Structure formats: structure tokens, C-alpha cells
Amino acid sequence: MKIAVIGTGYVGLVSGVCFSDFGHDVVCVDKDASKIATLKQGEVPIYEPGLDALMIKNVEAGRLSFTDDLTSAIDGAQAIFIAVGTPTRRGDGHADLTYVMAAAEEVAKLASDYVVIVTKSTVPVGTNRQVKQVVRKANPDLDFDVASNPEFLREGAAIDDFMKPDRVVVGVQNDRAADVMAEIYRPLFLRDFPIVTTDLESAEMIKYAANAFLATKITFINEIAALCERTGADIKQVSKGMGLDGRIGNKFLHAGPGYGGSCFPKDTKALARIGQEHAVPMQITETVIKVNEETKRRMIDKIFDLCDGQLSGKTVAILGVTFKPNTDDMRDAPSLTILPALIGAGAKVRVTDPQGQHEGTALLPGVQWSDNAYKAAQNADLVVILTEWNEFRALDLKRLARRMATPRMADLRNIYSAQDAKRAGFAAYDSIGRAAWT
């Protein structure tokens, strides 16, 4: 089957590469000519482990190609996936559907044979019906169906998530579209991965409900962590004791500096907005958004407290700025709230991140970039672990402490313990949901 994928970001590129690995004939198209030029040279414009090798394999097998020309991309395609961005619209929190609708209209004007137009982007309930109207208006004679196929991959583990999903969700209006979608996902179906077929609205809702639920779980444990700090409980033990309950599960129970990334912040805001529009306030989600902002502020307070309330003239070394490890994605990362606050208070901020500098340079003006944790910590007054990259999990803490002007650590991912820090010669240590030692 020939498939076209519109948008070669994290989702579109991973989907296109994986569909071609299923054996389909895939053309990925993007408006960004520089991205396409990079891809044509066999290079991946984003950092996603394993993606380059799988991409090259399928290009060489003749199943995968890239273009900025939509006409040739969709020629003969039986399914066209829209995988463009749906960022938060300025001012009201709604998902901005401009890119989705523009792509749908462009497709409509160029398509001539039966095709299924599949929305992979995360879109509010009702969007697929709007896509249908837009296509119908732009090309009244076109024989087509729409389908909703939200994506659940996680950046950093995207290929495994796509190839071995917990489930695939497909929203359709008739068997004809369902058959095309079944054909696309047949390799997963044959390996017993569940395919959940629904109506359009339910598929759209599943994506927002799932993301809001996960954001709630993270935020819940972050709030419990704040209470642990005041009561003498240890959040690591609490999470373990909770997570072993099969009804709760141990995933997304790691306390940290607040969720970030390209999905949870915008999707929780969009769900809250959808609720408002339908006069069904999403009160839990609205609270989650608020508590997550407070969690990030709490991190700033911790940093101040470790520096005796005074950041002016102090040097702070930040380990990790991406919103999580194994990605270069900086969208809505907690670092974008925390670092400007430190700079604003007069701190000199030095940063190291295995993949974050390319994106981070423009987003974090005024910081100084270092090659590694030890260089960043040279003569620093405080080191802050903000993202749990593997290379920060096995630091030589003695070496780190020796380099610092005053060895203090804010471990916002609970990688180490007060005991580890004390043994290594640190003078103060704070983490999340555990007693600080200063």
C-alpha cells in the first residue's frame, strides 16, 4: 500500500519510517524544505535513538522517500496521514488547528482517487468531522473517508512504542475506512497488539483523556512529595509502596520538577478548554495545570534555600535542560521556567545537556554552555540535576564536589541520596519528597 505522511516532526517521521518498515511504500512530505534536504541526505533532523538506522534501512530498500512536493507525495496513496503540529493557541489554551486544516485543504485540492485522510495529530473532539467538511468543500467530487488515529509514542522510546504499542486506536465512520486502516496496521495485528476501533469522537477523546490522566498521576505524586518533605516521609519509599498495588501501577509515579514536553502541557490545556466549551469543566485537569506550575516554582524556592536565599553573584551549574532524557525536545521543559528565574535573580547559569544545546541556545539566552557536568560545576556554588540523563546517574560525586566553590546539590530527579552527597564531600543536598540536608 502507498501511504503519504504530512509533517516530518517527531510523530510524522517516526510513523513514516515505521510504516515503511512494515513493508508499505511511504512518502514523507514537509513544508520545511531544509528538513527535507537533511532527510534526503540520510540524516535525521531530530534526536531519537535508533531512528537514523531504521530510516536508512528503509530508504535503501526503496520503501521510503522524502519530498516537499505534496502532489507527488499523495499520487496513488490510499491513506494520507496528517501529522502536523497542534500547539496551544495564544490566549485561550485551545489547540491551534491551523496546520491540520491547511494540510487537509491542500490534500483535498490535489487528491483524485479514493483515499482515507487520517489525522494522527492530537486534535480536539469534533476535529475529524471538521476535516471532513473542509475536504468536502475544497473538492466536492472527491471520494474519501476520514479516520482518527492518535499517536501514543514517547519521545526517546518512539520506535519501540510504535512497533510494540500497548494499543492502536482507530476512529472511523465505516467499514471501508476501517479496512484500509486494518491493512496498514496488519503487521501489528498479526503480532497480537490490540487495535481498538471506535467512532471518530471516542478516538479523539481517548488521546486527551490518556494524556490528562498521566499528567494527573505525575502531578499527584509531586504533590504527595511536597507533603513528604514536611512530614518526614520518603517519596521513593511511598512511590514504591503505592506502585506495587496492581490497581495503581508503578509508572508515572516518580516525583520530579513538574511535567513538561510537547504533549502534556498543551494537551491538558486543550482538554480544559474543550470542557469549558461544552460547559463541563474539567476541574481535575484544571487543578493539575495549576499544581504543575506551582511545582516548578517550588523548585526555584528549593534552589534559593540551598543558596541561603541569595542567588546574586552565585554560579549555578544545571545538568540537563531537555524535558526528559533521550530527546533533544525543549518544548515546555521545566528548565524554561526555572533557568530564567535564576538568571533574573542575578545567578550566573552554566548548563550542560547531552542533546539540548542545539534547541536550547535560542530558548535560554544568557546561559553559558559546557561540555560536561564537571566543567559546568567548576567553581560553582550549586549543582542542579534537572534531567535524569544516564550520564548524570553515575557521576563521580567526589570529583564534582572538589571542583565547586561551595559543594551543594539540588537533585530534582532523586538520582542520589543525602548520604551519597555527604560521603562525597557535599555541604548541602536537597531532592524531591525527602528531607533536605543543609
List residues near ligand NAD by CB under 6 A.
6-12, 29-32, 35, 83-86, 99, 102-103, 106, 121-122, 151, 153, 155, 262-263
Residue 195 Cβ, how far from ligand NAD at the closest point, in Å?
A: 17
Please identify, using beta-carbon distances, which residue of 54 and 153 lies nearer to ligand NAD: 153
Please identify, using beta-carbon distances, which residue of 85 and 433 lies nearer to ligand NAD: 85
CB 388 within 8 A of CB 320: yes
Residue 322 Cβ, how far from ligand NAD at the closest point, in Å?
A: 12
CB 425 within 8 A of CB 401: yes
Residue 54 Cβ, how far from ligand NAD at the closest point, in Å?
A: 16
Going by their DSSP bridges, the two strands 348-352 and 168-171 should be labelled as unpaired
Look at residue 344 and give its three-state secondary structure: helix
CB 431 within 8 A of CB 412: yes
Please list the alpha-helical segments (H only) found in 244-389: 264-277, 283-306, 335-344, 357-363, 373-377
Residue 77 Cβ, how far from ligand NAD at the closest point, in Å?
A: 14
Residue given cell 510504516 in the structure block: 19
Please identify, using beta-carbon distances, which residue of 282 and 318 lies nearer to ligand NAD: 282
Residues 6+ apart with CB under 8 A from 37: none
Rounded Cα gap, residues 103 and 118, in angstroms: 11
Query: DSSP letters along 184-207, please?
Result: HTHHHHHTT--EEEE-HHHHHHHH
Look at residue 86 and give its three-state secondary structure: coil
Look at residue 97 and give its three-state secondary structure: coil
Q: Which three cell numbers stand for residue 386?
A: 534537572
Please identify, using beta-carbon distances, which residue of 212 and 382 lies nearer to ligand NAD: 212
- Which residues is 67 bridged to in the sheet? 29
Residue 89 Cβ, how far from ligand NAD at the closest point, in Å?
A: 13
Residues 6+ apart with CB under 8 A from 247: none
Residue 137 Cβ, how far from ligand NAD at the closest point, in Å?
A: 17
Rounded Cα gap, residues 140 and 108, in angstroms: 9
Q: Which three cell numbers stand for residue 27?
A: 512518502
SS3 per-residue string spanning 125-166 = CCHHHHHHHHHHHHCCCCCEEEEECCCCCCCCCHHHHHHCCC
Residue 73 Cβ, how far from ligand NAD at the closest point, in Å?
A: 9
CB 324 within 8 A of CB 387: yes
Task: Report the candidate in 92, 104, 171 with the shortest Cα–Cα distance to residue 132.
Answer: 104
Residue 387 Cβ, how far from ligand NAD at the closest point, in Å?
A: 16
CB 231 within 8 A of CB 50: no
Please identify, using beta-carbon distances, which residue of 32 and 143 lies nearer to ligand NAD: 32
N-to-C CA span, the chain? 63
Please identify, using beta-carbon distances, which residue of 6 and 395 lies nearer to ligand NAD: 6
Please identify, using beta-carbon distances, which residue of 102 and 427 lies nearer to ligand NAD: 102
Catalytic residues: 263
Residue given cell 530534582 in the structure block: 412
Please identify, using beta-carbon distances, which residue of 122 and 216 lies nearer to ligand NAD: 122
Q: Which three cell numbers stand for residue 262?
A: 510537547
Closest residue by beta carbon to ligand NAD? 9
